[in-house]
Chains A and B, each alone.
Chain A
Amino acid sequence: MKLKLHIWRQKHAQDKGKMVTYEVDGIIEDMSFLEMLDVLNEKLIVNGEEPVAFDHDCREGICGACSLTINGIPHGFEKETTICQLHMRHFKDGDTIYIEPWRARAFPVIKDLVVDRAAFDRIMQAGGFVSAHTGGVPDANATPISKIDADKAMDYAACIGCGACVAACKNASAMLFVAAKVSQYAYLPQGQPERKKRVLNMVAQMDAEGFGGCTNQYECEAVCPKGISVAAIALMNRDFLKASLTDAS
């Protein structure tokens, strides 16, 4: 099939950037979306033009690197699917596709479709861990954890840190990402000792990074490729309130 692509091109962080139109031909159904972009890039290189820069690595929906907004929707229209896992059988000949980077103040564009998501790492540094240093821990089966809680923790732990939730939110809020981590630990006994401190510190860092607040639009949940539920946000809000009221230090 033949497609018309409008792609965001931006040389570097300071460049203003603009949409540029390309055509690709010979796209087949079994290709993934990123393989379709590979076809375009191969063509650009042969013509001596710079290929379109985009982040990607595993191409299996797990590393969280890929980060494209397709026709206005982060990761595209396929539910619970990263863009690297979207296949071209969902498009038809003659389609026009708009491809843009994540747009958020806290995710500045580095080049073309590549953005800087280091803010997420800094939020994790503020509290996204259990302070268990290597060695000297009890036997893994010493503390039974109900399967229900373990499964819940796993549901939230499945977050791949892609940032689509931020890109989808009109406030560019990172609540879903932060709440997923907070909730994972909240469901596990290992997470309890630092529970209050964690939520306060992570939220403080989130604010410091310039992410917006949550106004319950739930766009984040709609685009999340791992189906992280907004119930996490409610849990985090409760924890945050509780922690703020009691002395967390």
Chain B
Amino acid sequence: MPTTVSMTVNGKKVSGSIEPRTLLVQFIRETLGLTGTHVGCDTSQCGSCVVHVDGKSVKSCTILAAQAEGSDVLTIEGVAKDGKLHPMQEAFRENHGLQCGFCTPGMVMSALDLVKNNKNPSEQQIRDWLEGNICRCTGYHNIVKAIAAGAKAMA
């Protein structure tokens, strides 16, 4: 039985008719066509799918779209404003914090949540925070640098 969900995504009111079991990530990718949010695993470990729900980072593969009913969702597509990269995105670019780009949206969304709660994270705090985000390309070195630089730029 399809059901209707409504939420705000990247500042726009959206709704869609979906199967109740639809995951938030499926709703974002398939119903809304926002394919910047990625799926890298089926065990909720890789973090490629991280978005913000009501201001908090969430693995969008772990919750149902229906659970986000009425929520305010931010995906990677909503981070840059007026055609200008967000300072955190800019820091990833400056510090070569991405290679294939597949983990990148999740990394950026996680990083933004970290900085929201910790304006000046240490290297170790960044590394610990990224426990739930796997990157196979960069060896994390430049991601850690990028997040530290991004936090500074946001201050």
Q: Are these two chains actual partners, yes or no?
A: no
